[in-house]
A = this chain, B = another copy of it.
Amino acid sequence: MTNRASLQDIADQLGITKMTVSRYFRSPEKVAPATREKIAQAVKHSGYIHNRAPALMSRALSRTIGVVIPSLSNQVFSALVDGIETITNAESFDILLAHSGYDPKVEERKIEMLLSYQVDGMILCETEHTDRTRTMLKQAGIPVVECMELPEAPIDMVVGLDHKAAAFNAVTRMIASNKQHIVYLAARLDRRTMLRQQGYEQAMWEAGLTPQTVATPFQSSFSQGMKLLQQALDTFDRVDGIFCTNDDLAVGAMQFCKNEGIRVPDDLAVMGYNGLDIGLTMQPKLTSVVTPRQAIGIKSARLLIDVINGKAPSDKLFDLGFSYTAGESLS
C-alpha cells in the first residue's frame, strides 16, 4: 500500500494542524474563508480520499449498513436494494453489499465480514440462519431487519409479506375462475417455496380439491418451467391450471404451452409469483402475485435508520401485503 495523503500531510503542507483540515470536511463553516480556500486547493491537488478506519475504531456510528441478498441476478433483490438506497442516499448512509447464494453458511461468512467493518445495522433477505449467525448478530448489538417474509423466530425486526397467505389467496382466485385441477410448480425448495406450497395446499383442501405438486431441487429457470409443466402433464390425468412458485417457471411453462399448442388460459390457467416485467411481455400477459419489493426495501431501511438514530420503532413486524398484475393468463 502506497502512502495515500493523510489529513496530516495536507496540514503540514499549509502549516496548520490536521484538526482544521478535519473541520474543513466535517463543518466547513467553522473554518475561516481564507483558510478554507487554501485547504480546498491542497485537497484537490493531493487527491485526498477520506479514510474511514479511525472512525471505525472509535465507537462513533459508521453510518453504514450491511445488506445481504441471496442472488445477484434476480430482479426481486435488485428492486429491494433500489428501495433501500432511496433511503440510505437521503440519509447519507452507505451500504455494504454481499450475496449468499441462498446458502446459510455463506450468509454466515458474509455477515461476519460485514460486522468486522462495524456496520451500524443489517438487512437480511433470508430467514434461515445458522446458530452462529444468530449469536454473532446478538453479540454485535446492532438492529437487524429480516425482509421479504415473516419468519417464525425473528432475530429483531421484520418487513415482508405472508407468502402462505398470498399463495392461498392466489390459488383461491384460480379456483374461483372455475379451475379444479391445479398443480403447484416448485423449484429450489427453500422456505419461501414451502410456504407458498402450504398456502396452495390449504386453498385446495378448503375447496375440496386434491393438491398435486411437481418440484425440482434445481434453481428456477425458464427451462425448468418447461420441464416441470411437461412432467405435470405426464404425471396427472387432468391439469387445467398451474400455480408457479415464481415468474421464471411461469414464463417457461407458458413458452411450453405456445410450443405445444396449449391455449392459455382456456386449456390451462397460469398464475405466476413476483410480478416481474417479463410476465407482462407474454401473450397473454401473465397474471402474477406482486410482491412489493421496492416498498419493502424502503420500509426496511427507514426502520433500520430510525432505530440506529435512537428512535423506538412503532412495531417490530410490518406486513406489506401483495397484489396482482393485470394479467390475462387466468381466465
Contacts and interface: CB of A to CB of B under 8 A. Distances in A.
Contact of A1 (B5, B118, B252): B118
Contacts of A120: 1
Contacts of A23: none
A118 B50 CA distance: 10
Nearest to A282: B255
A51 interface: yes
A131 to B, nearest CB: 11
A48 B46 CA distance: 39
A98 B5 CA distance: 24
Given A53-B56, A72-B72, A281 B222 contact: yes
A213 B73 CA distance: 29
A158 interface: no
A168 B207 CA distance: 59
Contacts of A12: none
Interface string A35-72: 00000000000111111111011011100000001011
Contacts of A47: 135-136, 138-139
Given A118-B51, A136-B47, A142-B1, A281 B223 contact: yes
B56 A56 contact: yes
A135 B97 CA distance: 25
Interface string A90-111: 0000101111000000000000
B112 A49 contact: yes
Nearest to A61: B1
A90 to B, nearest CB: 14
A77 interface: yes
22 contacts: A1-B59, A2-B141, A3-B59, A3-B141, A4-B140, A4-B141, A47-B135, A47-B136, A48-B139, A49-B116, A50-B112, A53-B54, A56-B56, A72-B72, A72-B77, A73-B73, A81-B99, A96-B96, A117-B117, A223-B278, A223-B281, A255-B282
Interface of A: 1-5, 46-54, 56-57, 59-61, 69, 71-75, 77-78, 81, 94, 96-99, 112-113, 115-118, 120, 135-136, 138-142, 221-223, 226, 252, 255, 258-259, 277-278, 280-283
